[in-house]
Each structure stands twice: as C-alpha cells, then as structure tokens.
Amino acid sequence: MKNISVILLLVSVAACSGSNRPTAPQPTAVKTPVKNVIFLIGDGMGLAQVSKAIQQREEPLNIESANYIGLIKTSSSKQAITDSAAAATAFSTGVKTYNGAVGLDANGGSKKTLLELLAEKGYATGLIATSGITHATPASFYAHVESRQKYYSIAEELVDAPVSLFIGGAEDHFDNRVDKNRGRPDNRDLVKEMAAKGVTFISALDELEKASGRVGYFTADNHPESVGNGRSDYLAESIQPSIGFLQRQSKTGFFMMAEGAQIDWGGHANDIDYTISELYDFDKAVGAAMKFAKNDGNTLVLITADHETGGLTLPAGDTKSDEPYSQAGHAFSSSGHTSVMVPVYAYGKGAEAFAGVYENTEIYNKLLSVMGH
C-alpha cells in the first residue's frame, strides 16, 4: 500500500506541476513476477568508464547485451553528491539518506532492506563483493548503522542477518586474533559465534556444491587485492555456483547482489588502467549472470552504479596533431565522486521496467514491483 501511495503522490505532483512536459507511458505490468534477481553494482562506473572499456577492446562487453537502459539521479538526502553508503541505502531501502548512513533513513531511523524483506518472504539471498563484506555497498543490504566507518558494528549485524551466502573480504572485522594488529578490538570472535549458529565457512568455491543453510566465504583478511595486483576473478567465478547454491536453499527464488567495488578505487586514484581492469572483471560477472538469466527465463539481471567516480571525460588524445580527433584520450577532473547521472542496464525478465530517467530510490520500488510485491 505504501508503494501505491508513493506512486499516486508522484503522479499528482506531476499533474499539478503545470508544465507541458510529456509524461512517459507507464510500462505494462509484467504478467508473471520475476522469480530471481541478480543485482550487479559497478561502484563508480559512469558512462565514460563504460565507454572507455568498450573503446579499448575488440569484442563487445557483456553489458552491451542489456536491452533496456535507464538513467538514475544519485544525489543523497543532504548532499548533491552521494557516497556509496547513501547510494546503496537508496537501492536497498527506497529512501534517500545522508552520506555515510548504512540502512538508515535521513533521520537515523532503521529501514528494512530489500534483502531482509525478501528473506522474510522465503527468498534465498546472496552478497558478493570485491571489497570487504563490511564495506558500504554490501553492508547497506544487511546492516543499520549511523556511519559506514563502524566496521566492527557492521560485522556484528551480519551474525544474525538473513544472508544465505556472503563472499568477500574483511575477515579481520569478524575474527578475534592473537596478533594485536589484526582482528577485532573486543573479545568477540564473530566467526566462532556464527559457526555456533550454523553458518558454514568455506575456503573454496567448489565447497558450495555440498553446503547448505547459511554460508560465508572470506576472500581476504582485509580488502581483496586489485585485479592488477593479482586478485583472482572470483567475482565472475562465484556467480554460477552461488546461483546453484541459492536455488537449492529456496524454491521461492533468490536475490543476489554482486559488487565490482574497485572500479571506484581506480577512479579515486585517477588510474585509468586500475579502473578499466576492474570494469572488465565486473563485466565477466555480468556475462555469467546474463548466461544464467537467458537459460532460466525467470530471472532479471540489473546492472548499475551507485555514482560516477573521478569525473572521467574522454577528450581527444593528442590535441597537437594535425587530426586532433583521431585518438581517444581520457582525463579525470576529480579525485572523488561526481553528480552525473549513471546508467542502468537491464536484461531478462522484467527488464523493460527499468527504462527511463528516475531517482536511485526507484530501483527499490521497481525491483519489488517486478517481483510481484
């Protein structure tokens, strides 16, 4: 009911605005609900990043197979430029919040996340990231804390969170270790606590085949390495076995979020090779997700970014040559995030609902709507 009243409110605001701006026809409702959602977030992946990645390679990116494209406005509740916590919270809860907030609204109130809501309805849920699993983007799907920096509190919230499977770094936020430079500052050992509650910890993806219940896989003590520094392509490699695992846990369906976290870090470092190598790594995961969705027919693959990072533009490469437009160059204009809209790429069942220009919070509403909730 809440969603309906929000939509009615938006419709009436549009009707009263007095402008002659044409309104888009509403997409026709999906006849049967989408069963499974694979939500892929390329942190910091703006249109220039994707353009550069396309230009540098002969074969097309998997992202290019998306058949419905949208654009989202990414500002947070207080700031014109969002951070990853506020942006991921907009996706996961449908409300704008302040930068740094994880799973809370702008007044600091706890908001139930999409993942928590779907778990209550019987869906299996998965989170995969190439950062620590306590980092802002994955955290915003299971934790509710006032600051993204409170990693140890975020880790505590994963202990009882309805996350069927998580794969990512930051074991140090969970472990209590003898080495005083590593692990939690308190006496808790969350790995032991979770194991006592029935969570299975695995150390290789093929162990997923025999696992059941709740499963965790730490890929690093802290943040995983970059692709350039030798990280395996576990993001892409984990998609198919994770889907198999989640399907075995529930007949209702599954919701999985997988994040290419370090596209953003390449942008902060103004390092184009870092950015693009991470984007290719992320695109491999997109390919694995699309392959499953194509065969399955009941799965939506949704790909977007939380914001753009680095203010990347693609001007002419060699401006002094006789033909200044013959080479594509690149230039970063910022070491931080920017306010430019970011693309949404949708593929598979229910994809048409994601065309258009809208606020990042609409991702939440649209996902629930195509899933029939």
For Zn ion, give the closer residue by CB, 264 or 278.
264
Restricting to residues 237-276, which ones interact with Zn ion according to CB under 5 A? 264
| Angle 247-143-79 from CA coordinates, rounded to 5° | 120
Contact assessment for residue 129 and residue 138, using Cβ atoms and an 8 Å cutoff: yes
Please give the residues from 199 up to 218 whose contact with Zn ion meets the rule CB under 5 A.
none
Cβ distance to Zn ion smaller for residue 264 or 281: 264
Instruction: Give min distance, CB of 269 to Zn ion, in A.
Output: 10
**Buried b or exposed e, range 167-182, using 16+ CB within 10 angstroms:** bbbbbbbbbbeeeeee
- Smallest gap, in angstroms, from Cβ of residue 292 to Zn ion? 29
Minimum CB–partner distance for residue 20 and Zn ion (Å): 39
- CB of 126 within 8 A of CB of 163? yes
* Residue in the shown chain whose Cβ atom is closest to Zn ion: 264
* Helix H or strand E encompassing 90: helix 84-93
Number of residues that bind Zn ion (CB under 5 A): 1
Q: Which is nearer to Zn ion, 48 or 289 (CB)?
A: 48
Do residues 127 and 114 make contact, with C-beta atoms less than 8 angstroms apart? no
CB of 88 to Zn ion, least distance (A): 11
Q: Output the smallest distance, CB 43 to Zn ion, in A.
A: 6
Q: Are strands 165-169 and 356-359 parallel, antiparallel or unpaired?
A: unpaired
Structure tokens of 323?
């033909």
Q: How far is the CB of 40 from Zn ion (least distance, A)?
A: 17
With respect to Zn ion, which residue has the nearer C-beta, 144 or 148?
148
**Burial class, 48, CB count within 10 angstroms (exposed 0-12 / middle 13-18 / buried 19+):** buried
Site for Zn ion, residues 10 to 49, rule: CB under 5 A: none
In this complex, which beta carbon is closest to Zn ion, that of residue 10 or of residue 269?
Answer: 269
Half-sphere exposure of 73 (CA within 13 A, CB side): 12
Question: Does the footprint of Zn ion cover residue 156 (CB under 5 A)?
Answer: no
Per CB under 5 A, contacts with Zn ion among 323-342 are: none
Given the complex with Zn ion, which of 76 and 369 has the nearer CB atom?
Answer: 76
Cα distances (Å, whole numbers) of residue 109 to 83, 98, 106, 253: 19, 12, 7, 29
Which CB, 171 or 264, lies closer to Zn ion?
264
Are the beta carbons of 300 and 37 closer than 8 angstroms?
yes
Give the shortest CB-167-to-Zn ion separation in angstroms: 21
Instruction: Say how many residues make up the chain.
Output: 373
Binding site for Zn ion (CB under 5 A): 264
